Structure 1
Amino acid sequence: MKKLLLLLLLASMPLFGQTDRATITGTVTDTTGGRVPSVEITLVSKATGISRLAKTNSEGVFTISSLAVGTYKATFRADNFATQEVEEIRLDVGQTYTLPVKLGVTKVETAIDVSAGVTGLDQSSAEIGGVVHGSQAQDLPLNGRNYVSLVALVPGAIDSGTGTQDQVRFAGLSAEDNSWHLDGIDNSGINHQYQKVAIRLQPSTEAIAEFRANSAVYSADQGGTPGGQIELVSRSGSNGFHASAWEFLRNTYFDATPWGTVGTFPTLHLNNFGANLGGPVLKDKLFFFVNWESLRQVQNLSLTGTVPSASFRAAVLAKSPALAPILNAYPVGTVTIAGNANAVSWYGSGPSTDREDSGLARVDYHVNNRTDAFVRYSTDHYAVQTPADLTGQGFTTLTTPNIVIGAQTAFSSTFMNNVRFGFNRAEFTQGETNTLPYSVVVTGAFTKLDDATGSVRYDNSFTFVDDATLVRGRSTIKAGVTVRRIQENKSSPSVPDEIYTFASTTNFQNNLMDSDSYAGTVPLTGQRMTESFGYIQDQFQLSPQLTINAGMRYEYFGVDHEVQGRGIIVDPLNCSAVVCPAGSEWYHPNLLDFSPRLSVAYSPAALRGKSVLRAGYGIYYGDGQFGNLGTPVGNLATKYSITQQQAPGLSFPVTPYLGAAANSFAPSGSPINRKDTAVEEWTLSFQSEVAKQTVAQIAYFGTHASHVFSDVTLNGIDPTTGKRPFAGYSTIDYRGSSNDANTQAFQAGLRRDFASGLLISANYELSHSLDNGGIGGGEADIPQDYNCHRCEYSSSDQDMRHYFSASTIWKLPVGRGHTFLGNASHLEEFFLGGWQASGIGTARSGLPINVTISRSTSALPDQLNKNQRPNLVPGVSVYAAHKTPTSWLNPAAFSAPLAGVHGNAGRNIARAPGLWQFDTSLQKRFPVTERVGVSFRAEAFNLFNVAHYGTPASVFAGSNFGVVTTPFSTNAVGTGTPRELQFMLRADF
């Protein structure tokens, strides 16, 4: 009765389940296929010696959940049956491992060693995803040593950038739709789902046991966002002491020259060093693991920009001497641009320094045969200084402490519970030092001059998670709860942010400013929200070959609010006035986010359990970027936008025109009846063991997302009246959920387990994503015409038609006990044995290009000058006859629209260059003693030094239109760099 009451209590609580543990389940039968009850099962961890006991029920079904990842041995004993032992059962994070066992009848108990059967088959769900083991994170060549680079190796994932959290996407959704967990607890950036900067050691790859990334159609125990679910598990200690210390070294001396480099060659000095130590405090009882890693990176970056020519400077000063402060802020360029007398290219350099220190400590305690507990603390301290624009210097700091305490208890062989509590923090500061207190944009002509904008954030999340598992007959019932409390304390911007925009060089010369947009300092505010999620699911073994997984998840995201009641709520479309009544809720809660999930896995007996057919469907909810929920806080600052229409003759300096600002308040708004994003997902897949330890998969999946994040501009000029609909206000940035997005994809993959000394992982995805401006989370394009939403429907900004990724780790079969030199001498073994090669290859299509045009606000019917597109010239290709970096788009394919109408070119009408590269490494461990060794590794990133081109200039104006002026990446690490070499030295025992 107590167990039943506990289960009912868990099911009644609000929840959000995400497991960092594994489960093993199966059916025990005799030689005739009959189910065997009361079989005693002993499962022993090979790392720690900790055992778990269970029994099959009356249906011959057993389930053992809340297991730490790792390798196990299982023993099955029953009266009148031969004892059976199953060796080398590898349990991965989040995995439900299905193990069918057949016992032979005998009067004499005989131990029989058997293998664990087919690995890699998922016979419990239809999810698209995969696991990356610690050996991959530690042994594959990662440019930057960031584990996120490996996330895109998982089926259903793509990396649209350089391998950072804000560039990895799943199933056509936004990077804001992903959930990042460490040991089952929130490890996100809180304001954004991803971390706001490209930190690399959170956590260190050396501290990761493994991680799982589920892309689509995952079961009801996962959620909180509709995108990818990334669950990392930290390393634990074992019964043996293990330690290592290492350093990775990079230097410009070993690197190729970046594509497009002119002037100063970018220099780099990078040192990445750290150490691990783990082992027992009490054997078989208490274990510890500690990790520390640091990074020091110093660069002298090559800088380039487009600046006014000497003749243009003279012409501007002669015509508009008041612009002298702005002109003087541009550095003096020296390289002429063909066909452009007003601009020249400027080349320079600037210092950039990165400093990062991370640490992790974990203690695991085996309380008794029923209960295990652990506590883990990790942190990362990051600081970077880098050039902000042509003349300024930017700085960013981020500190991310994270702690979790958890316990797993088996109350009986059929009822288990896993509970965790954790704390996550993102302490962030950002700012710039610049010459000017304002930004200057001369559209399509010169490089933007930045002002010294910045922000300060102290964001926290507190998470409680409880998952319970109950085995009844053929059902394995799982229920869970999560409560997540979010605190965001921020001042953004922390200094005023002002932008002066000139529509053309002619307007700049005449000192005719198109607009002045100002956002004053927001005081330090405190946003608060409590999320509550819950689920219940049943994994039902209809037969040993057929499993049905059915679940229901309920998600309540709460309502964001300011702790002191501050905030100005703006919703001109749903309130009786532009500003809603003081004291109102920021928006109405969504109370009906019920998420059914259903999947079927069928492994035909005729295929000897080596193949499985899977199908699934589910609904997934999310509330997008947390920062976008807080528009009322942003309105606490002084904000206005002045245009020529409001202040005729608007020019620099703007002081004489600030009187127009009194009626030019430019607030941010959002609908008080906003909807949470709802994503339907479906899939059909087939997995099969095609060779020993090798599984192939082919899959189709589709998604349809409704109520997707949208960003539109309201309060444009009404052409019939010449006035704004909401008098006393300028433009209103309105962030809602009115977009739709769709993705269809075919996926094929191959994976060979590393147990044989050769790991192969390869995935290919052919997909097409379409939307009308938003793909989810906080990513959306402002439409050029607010009144024609359907005009924006096109390929998504992140539509990558072809995506291929592959990785391999190969212990070369040379040396004692191997195919070659199997009887090597000590000297031969020392130099020739123990080598290991590894590599990562990627190839991807180019992303869409949205061709725009610079237009004066007065030339537009509503005077909303956002993302305006040109006209298309019928019958003319948008690409140059022979696409090259200097001629990618065809200017003859476009023309300027007439005044008073929008352009007819579609959104995302062209494609940027694609990318492919191969990274490789070769390493050798030199034994010093039986346990102590020293390893050397050499890594080459972009081994073939393939030139990676950036996106061509897409503003239809000037001689640079359609020309690739920058490389794909200017970072020192990540995807898209020139060939770079890195060396490692490691000592271990």
Structure 2
Amino acid sequence: MKRLWALFLMFCSISLMAQTDRGTITGTVRDQSGRVIAGANLVIRSLSTGLEYRTVTDGAGVYVVTSLVTGIYQVTVQSEGFVRQQFNDVNLDVGQTRTLDAKLTVAGGVTQVEVQPDSGLSKSSGEIGGVVNYTQAADLPINGRSFTGLLDLIPGAMDSGTGQMQDIRFGGLSDEDNTWHLDGIDNSGINNPFVDVNMRLEVSTEAIAEVRANAVAYSADQGGSPGGQIEEVSKTGRDKFTGSAWEFIRNSVFDASPWDAAGQLPGLHYNDFGGNLGGPISKKRKIFFFVNYEGSRESINQILTGIIPTIAFRNQVAALPLPSAQLSPLTQIINSFPVPTPQNSSPIDPISDQWFGSGPQLTAENSGLARVDWKINDKMSVFARFNDDAYTESRPDHINPLTGFHNESQPSAVIDVQNTFTPTILNDFRYGFNRTVSLEGQSTQLPYLVSISPFTQLDTSSGTTRNDNSYSFIDNATFLHGKHTIKAGVSFIAMQENKASPNSPDWELTFNNTTDFLNNYIDQVYFRGSNPLTGARMKWTFGYALDEFKVSPTLTMNVGLRYEYFGQDHEVLGRGISVDPLHCPNVVCPKSVPWYYPDLLDLSPRVSAAWAPAYLHGKTVIRAGYGLYYGDGQFGSLGDPIGNISTDYNLYNQHFPILENATAGTNTSPTGADIHRKDTGAHEWTLSVQQQVAPRTTFQLAYFGTAVEHVFNDTVTNPYNPATGLPAYPAYDIGFEYKEFTNHASTNAFQTSLQRDFSTGLQLSINYEWSHSINNGGIGGGESDTPENPNCMTCERASSDQDMRHYFTASTVWQVPVGRGRALLNNASRPVDEILGGWQLSAIGYVRSGLPLNVTLNRSNTDLPNQINQNERPNLIPGVPLYPAHKTTNLWLNPAAFAYPFSCPSDGSACVVPPGVSPWGNLGRNAVRAPGVWQIDPSLQKHFKVGERATLMFRAEAFNALNVAQYGQPNTNWAPPDPGVSDNPNSYGLISNSYNTNPTGTGTPRELQFGLKVEF
């Protein structure tokens, strides 16, 4: 009774996700005639720790051992009157349910030994996803040694950028829709699911046992967002002491110059160093430890490029016949741009130069992790883990060689208690803590941001202070009953966002063109005052139940239901101004009205089936699945009422000085949001076939689709009314921001993959995906394009911003089979083995389509009847191609393809739009595409034996070995031709930057890296 009461208390503990960081081994034991064997004894032994897990088959001949740490196991099956059967080298991946069916022969023979009876086909569910193991994490050439660079290798994943957390997407959804876990506990950036900066060592690749990511149609034990579910698992200690120490170095002497650097070679010094140590604290008490440290130091003279004013234009500004109060700010702005010289610029026209320069960028990162595992007895085990990553960066900004800074740290901890109450009842309870501490700011010459088309934008000195926390309480239970494996769990996460954003006043000035600048005509002035340190609070509560049911020996059903309550965001001291002009009569909602009303009925059914036909000998699995998946978007975006505390306003058609027009202490440009918003709901479905094509090698052909409703859309409201000469809400600025969840998005994809594990010295991972994602501006999470015309959302329907049509990745790790312990020259002499033995080749290759781009133009708000000027597009000239006949970096897009739309009279007279004419451009959203990206990253390493236990490894890596020029995005801001100046006055279609301006990640010029590593 006491045990049942303890189970009830632990099961009622409030918490988050299932044991997705563990694995399960299950199967059915039969005799040769096919009859099930009840009471058969199984021993599952970990080859790394020696720990054993025992169970017996039930009346249906079924056994299940769950919550196993990822690794390699030996499984022994024995029953009285039968010969013992043994499975060796059973590889169990994170989150995997491994099916091992045994067929025992009658007594009289010797032990049957089977090695890897299948390739690990997924026979329990229908999700699209995969695993990256430690061999890949440790040996593949990842530029920057970040674990996020490994996610490219998982079916269903896409890297839409340079390999940072915010670049990883699944199923056509937003980067805000991913769930990140480390050892089953929240490992997100809290404000956003991803961390704010390129923290590459948040978890060292040397401390990762495996990474699993499920893209779509996963079971009910996962959720909290409709996107990818990423589970990182930290390494554990073994029954023997093992360790390593390493250093990887890079220097610009070995690198190629970026194509846009005008022959300059950015000076680089990069060091990555660290060590691991693990082993038993007490073999008798079965206590093991593992510790890791990794640090990096990076110093680069960053290449800077941009569009700047010519000397002639500077002189033209200096000669303006304006009063000093107006001329002085204009000359201050122009003087903030770098001065063009023949050595660092390339003239485009009489107004603008393409400028080349450099500025120092310094990065330091220190990451550490410690973990202890203790198997107290056969019924209870505990583990605890703590890690932290401290990151500091100072950097230039666009064409500003002065530095900005970003300091961030991300500590995380978990304690897990696992109890096996009976062979059929298991419980797992976890408590976790995650924290993000961030301080960001810049040192700039101007106190405001300035945008003058076609010049590169000058940034502001505004920054952010942030101290965010999440506390997770998680409880999951597993019940075994015959052919049913029933899992149930409840979860509770307390989210805290403590921030001051911005922590200093934020001014933004927009000049539509250089003519307006010369006339001191500012199209738009935006001001946002600094915010005090505020505290947003929200609590998530989840629950689920699922049944993994073996309908027959060849058919498994996974049926589940998940409930998700995302709670209500609020400020801890009651601060915040909620704005909703559509549902609150006075625009500002009363204090009695919450920031929004939460959804109470987010019920998510999930069902999948996996069928391995007997006549195909268990080497083929046909899988299908469907599920409904909910998410509440970006946590930070839900707290917009906090941002409304500060002074916010827009001014239009202004001249310097502008301060005299400001109204201090008011907020006439608030951020509004629908208080009756709905949580995003994604319907996801899959159909796939997995085939064992060779030992330990699996081929998959899959289709998946998604249909997402209540997608976030960021629009504007408060249009100008020509009849009254006032906006709809006269006390507020025209076109202030309004957030809704009314968009729709869909994705259809075909995916193929070939996977081979490393057990025989050759690992392969090859993935190709063709997909098409469509939406009307909203991707999901907190990502959305502001519509050109808020009253025509159907006009925005087009390919998603992240519609990467073709996506291919391939990787391999190959131990060259030559030398001692390998197939060839196994008995070679020591000198021969030192020369020819111990070599390993590794490589990664990428091929990606270019992303869609939206063509825009600069207009005055008075050009439009409603005076809402957001993401305006030009008219498309019929028959004129969008691209030039020969695309170059100077002209990737064709400026002759467009015309200026109808505009209202500039003299202030009534705006009468002729019948059949639209003041909004008819060019569709995302009509053009950026260049694609492809590269090959090989690695060669050699192992040298040092003594009896130690090995020295030397590695040489080349990133973008073929030095393929990786182009950034072209300028997509179009302006009508001015024959007196240029036929392309704002450099439309010009590519001025490389794809990746950092020295790590994908899309860099060729870079070489060398490393030494000692292992024992």
TM range (shorter): over 0.9
Question: Does residue 965 of structure 2 align to residue 947 of structure 1?
Answer: yes
Q: Which amino acid aligns with 2:16?
A: F
Taking only the aligned residue pairs, the percentage that are identical comes to 51
Q: Tell me the alpha carbon deviations over residues 587-640 of structure 1, each in whole angstroms, 9 at most, x when there is no partner.
A: 101100000000000000001011100000000000111000000100111111
Question: Does residue 621 of structure 2 align to residue 607 of structure 1?
Answer: no
Question: Does residue 100 of structure 2 align to residue 99 of structure 1?
Answer: yes
Write the distance in 2 (CA, Å) between the matches of 1:984 and 1:15: 42
Distance verdict in 2 for CA 1:820–1:113, change over 3 Å:
closer
Question: Does residue 340 of structure 2 align to residue 333 of structure 1?
Answer: yes
* Contact 1:189/1:426, CA 8 A, preserved across alignment: yes
Q: Which amino acid aligns with 1:682?
A: W
User: What's the offset of the Cα at 1:263?
Assistant: 6.4
Stretch deviating more after TM superposition (327-336 or 895-904): 327-336
Write the distance in 1 (CA, Å) between the matches of 2:5 and 2:37: 30
Q: Tell me the alpha carbon deviations over residues 258-295 of structure 1, each in whole angstroms, 9 at most, x when there is no partner.
A: 11112643110000000111011111511111100110
Write the distance in 1 (CA, Å) between the matches of 2:2 and 2:784: 50
User: What's the offset of the Cα at 1:823?
Assistant: 2.9
User: What's the offset of the Cα at 1:95?
Assistant: 0.8
Write the distance in 2 (CA, Å) between the matches of 1:13 and 1:543: 35
Stretch deviating more after TM superposition (953-962 or 227-236): 953-962
Q: Which amino acid aligns with 2:629?
A: Y
1:668-679 paired onto structure 2 within 5 Å: 668-679=671-682
Question: Does residue 696 of structure 2 align to residue 693 of structure 1?
Answer: yes
* Contact 1:641/1:664, CA 8 A, preserved across alignment: no
Match of residue 885, structure 2, among 854, 863, 881? 881
Q: Which amino acid aligns with 2:903?
A: A
1:483-522 paired onto structure 2 within 5 Å: 483-522=492-531
* Contact 2:690/2:701, CA 8 A, preserved across alignment: yes
Distance verdict in 2 for CA 1:590–1:217, change over 3 Å:
same
Write the distance in 2 (CA, Å) between the matches of 1:972 and 1:683: 38
User: What's the offset of the Cα at 1:663?
Assistant: 7.8
For 1:778, the equivalent position in structure 2 comes to 782
For 1:425, the equivalent position in structure 2 comes to 435
1:303-702 paired onto structure 2 within 5 Å: 303-319=304-320, 320=322, 321-322=327-328, 323-334=330-341, 340-391=349-400, 392-442=402-452, 444-644=453-653, 650-658=654-662, 665-702=668-705
* Contact 1:711/1:780, CA 8 A, preserved across alignment: yes
- Displacement over 6 Å in runs of 4+: 1-13, 661-664
Match of residue 740, structure 1, among 741, 744, 750? 744
Write the distance in 2 (CA, Å) between the matches of 1:15 and 1:704: 29
Q: Tell me the alpha carbon deviations over residues 670-703 of structure 1, each in whole angstroms, 9 at most, x when there is no partner.
A: 1111111000000000001001110000000000
* Contact 1:816/1:823, CA 8 A, preserved across alignment: yes
Q: Which amino acid aligns with 1:855?
A: R
SS at match of 1:348: strand
SS at match of 1:313: helix
User: What's the offset of the Cα at 1:664?
Assistant: 6.7
* Contact 1:334/1:345, CA 8 A, preserved across alignment: no
Write the distance in 2 (CA, Å) between the matches of 1:893 and 1:327: 32
User: What's the offset of the Cα at 1:138?
Assistant: 0.7
Question: Does residue 236 of structure 2 align to residue 236 of structure 1?
Answer: yes
SS at match of 1:470: strand
For 2:1005, the equivalent position in structure 1 comes to 978
User: What's the offset of the Cα at 1:103?
Assistant: 1.2
Write the distance in 2 (CA, Å) between the matches of 1:539 and 1:690: 27
Write the distance in 1 (CA, Å) between the matches of 2:743 and 2:824: 60
Write the distance in 1 (CA, Å) between the matches of 2:531 and 2:24: 48
Match of residue 722, structure 1, among 725, 746, 768? 725
For 2:843, the equivalent position in structure 1 comes to 839
Question: Does residue 934 of structure 2 align to residue 933 of structure 1?
Answer: no
* Contact 1:263/1:302, CA 8 A, preserved across alignment: no
- TM score, norm. by length of structure 1: 0.97
* Contact 1:209/1:235, CA 8 A, preserved across alignment: yes
Question: Does residue 800 of structure 2 align to residue 799 of structure 1?
Answer: no
Distance verdict in 2 for CA 1:15–1:109, change over 3 Å:
farther
User: What's the offset of the Cα at 1:720?
Assistant: 3.7
* Contact 2:13/2:475, CA 8 A, preserved across alignment: no
For 1:921, the equivalent position in structure 2 comes to 939
User: What's the offset of the Cα at 1:14?
Assistant: 5.5
SS at match of 2:480: strand
RMSD across aligned positions (CA): 1.5
For 1:647, the equivalent position in structure 2 comes to none
* Contact 2:89/2:116, CA 8 A, preserved across alignment: yes
Write the distance in 2 (CA, Å) between the matches of 1:904 and 1:3: 69
Write the distance in 2 (CA, Å) between the matches of 1:823 and 1:794: 63
User: What's the offset of the Cα at 1:111?
Assistant: 2.1
* Contact 2:347/2:353, CA 8 A, preserved across alignment: no
Match of residue 896, structure 1, among 885, 897, 900? 900
* Contact 1:15/1:555, CA 8 A, preserved across alignment: no
* Contact 2:257/2:263, CA 8 A, preserved across alignment: no
For 2:827, the equivalent position in structure 1 comes to 823
Write the distance in 2 (CA, Å) between the matches of 1:2 and 1:542: 34
**Which runs of 5 or more residues in structure 2 are unaligned?**
905-918, 976-984
Write the distance in 2 (CA, Å) between the matches of 1:726 and 1:699: 52
Q: Which amino acid aligns with 2:415?
A: I
Write the distance in 2 (CA, Å) between the matches of 1:905 and 1:304: 29
SS at match of 1:49: coil
User: What's the offset of the Cα at 1:6?
Assistant: 6.6
SS at match of 2:516: helix
User: What's the offset of the Cα at 1:885?
Assistant: 2.1
Stretch deviating more after TM superposition (383-392 or 620-629): 383-392
Q: Which amino acid aligns with 1:213?
A: A
Write the distance in 1 (CA, Å) between the matches of 2:525 and 2:887: 38
Write the distance in 2 (CA, Å) between the matches of 1:683 and 1:212: 18
SS at match of 1:755: coil
Write the distance in 1 (CA, Å) between the matches of 2:867 and 2:965: 41
Q: Tell me the alpha carbon deviations over residues 749-770 of structure 1, each in whole angstroms, 9 at most, x when there is no partner.
A: 0001100100000000000000
Stretch deviating more after TM superposition (319-328 or 225-234): 319-328
Stretch deviating more after TM superposition (429-438 or 116-125): 116-125
User: What's the offset of the Cα at 1:347?
Assistant: 2.4
User: What's the offset of the Cα at 1:988?
Assistant: 1.6
For 2:762, the equivalent position in structure 1 comes to 758
User: What's the offset of the Cα at 1:4?
Assistant: 6.7
* Contact 1:969/1:977, CA 8 A, preserved across alignment: yes
Q: Tell me the alpha carbon deviations over residues 473-514 of structure 1, each in whole angstroms, 9 at most, x when there is no partner.
A: 110000011110011100000011100111111000000110
Q: Which amino acid aligns with 1:770?
A: I
User: What's the offset of the Cα at 1:314?
Assistant: 2.1
* Contact 2:13/2:474, CA 8 A, preserved across alignment: no
Q: Which amino acid aligns with 1:907?
A: R
Q: Which amino acid aligns with 1:144?
A: G
User: What's the offset of the Cα at 1:574?
Assistant: 1.0
Write the distance in 2 (CA, Å) between the matches of 1:233 and 1:338: 53
Write the distance in 1 (CA, Å) between the matches of 2:437 and 2:946: 44
For 1:33, the equivalent position in structure 2 comes to 34
**Which runs of 5 or more residues in structure 1 are unaligned?**
645-649
Distance verdict in 2 for CA 1:289–1:64, change over 3 Å:
same
User: What's the offset of the Cα at 1:318?
Assistant: 2.3
Q: Which amino acid aligns with 1:539?
A: E
* Contact 1:99/1:116, CA 8 A, preserved across alignment: no
Write the distance in 2 (CA, Å) between the matches of 1:886 and 1:454: 34
* Contact 2:786/2:871, CA 8 A, preserved across alignment: yes
Q: Tell me the alpha carbon deviations over residues 5-57 of structure 1, each in whole angstroms, 9 at most, x when there is no partner.
A: 77776776655324211111111111111111111111111111111111111
Stretch deviating more after TM superposition (650-659 or 477-486): 650-659
* Contact 1:330/1:390, CA 8 A, preserved across alignment: yes
Q: Which amino acid aligns with 2:102?
A: V
SS at match of 2:994: coil
Q: Which amino acid aligns with 1:766?
A: W
Q: Tell me the alpha carbon deviations over residues 203-247 of structure 1, each in whole angstroms, 9 at most, x when there is no partner.
A: 000000111000010000000011000001101101110111100
Write the distance in 2 (CA, Å) between the matches of 1:819 and 1:239: 29
SS at match of 1:28: strand
Write the distance in 1 (CA, Å) between the matches of 2:236 and 2:821: 30
